Amino acid sequence: MSALIDLWRSTVGTKALVAVSGLLLSVWVVLHVAGNLTMFSGPAVADGYAAALRRTPATLWAARVGLAAAAVVHVAGIASLARASRRARPRHDMAASHRASALAARSMRIGGVLLLAFVVYHLLHLTLGVAHPHFLPGRVYDNVVVGLRPTSVAAVYLIATALLGLHLFHGLWAAARSLGVRPDTAACRRRPAVAILCVAVALGFASVPVAVLTGWLR
């Protein structure tokens, strides 16, 4: 624990913690999109998959606590790095390259805040059901189809999906740099593969609201 606190106190350590927590969240996002695709196999499979996850509450809660901890470390780390960078670099004497990277960092932060707001809405909508007018506990398929039918709600999900794809792409590169991958190495030549992964994740998430809007899922 004290090693973690020491790590947190240095900028390099905070960047590493933000990178590792971001990577954990990315793994979970890939698992979530795979789970969502069970919707295309019908209500029995989608509801059965959700029920199977709940059959071992200890594992489910361990994953939820791990996910929440990773999200807290990620957000707190970014807030702390943003404060440190504001203190270290007065706006007026920034070089052009620094201004560009500050802009990229700022758009990542704005996208991140919007994603966080989406996750809160999403939990109230499809997990707790309090923001869903016809929520039925355990009926995941119906909750998704009925919940995403209003165009405005589907639009919120589609915007979140696009933001997630961009955040994932920029975040994975930022994480690689924080963990010591240099720009001229072989890992960086895998950029197209990472872009394909991020587009696949975004399309995977988008497929459900699009299928509901077009009447494929009903």
Q: Could you list the residues that contact ligand HEM (CB under 6 A)?
A: 29, 32, 36, 50, 53, 64, 115, 119, 122-123, 126-127, 140, 144, 157, 160-161, 164, 205, 208-209
Using the minimum distance from each CB to ligand HEM, give the nearer residue, 19 or 46.
46
Distance, CA of 49 to CA of 160 (rounded, Å): 24
Question: 137 φ, ψ to 5°?
Answer: -55, 135
Distance, CA of 83 to CA of 5 (rounded, Å): 18
Closest CB 109 distance from ligand HEM, rounded Å: 16
Using the minimum distance from each CB to ligand HEM, give the nearer residue, 69 or 119.
119
Closest CB 103 distance from ligand HEM, rounded Å: 23
Question: 150 φ, ψ to 5°?
Answer: -65, 130
CB 105 within 8 Å of CB 38: no
Helix crossing, 151-178 with 191-213: angle to 10°? 170
Using the minimum distance from each CB to ligand HEM, give the nearer residue, 14 or 207.
207
CB 90 within 8 Å of CB 135: no
Distance, CA of 212 to CA of 40 (rounded, Å): 11
Using the minimum distance from each CB to ligand HEM, give the nearer residue, 161 or 178.
161
Closest CB 196 distance from ligand HEM, rounded Å: 18
Closest CB 218 distance from ligand HEM, rounded Å: 15
Closest CB 185 distance from ligand HEM, rounded Å: 29
Using the minimum distance from each CB to ligand HEM, give the nearer residue, 56 or 127.
127
Mark out the alpha helices in 11-135 (DSSP H runs): 11-36, 43-54, 57-88, 96-122
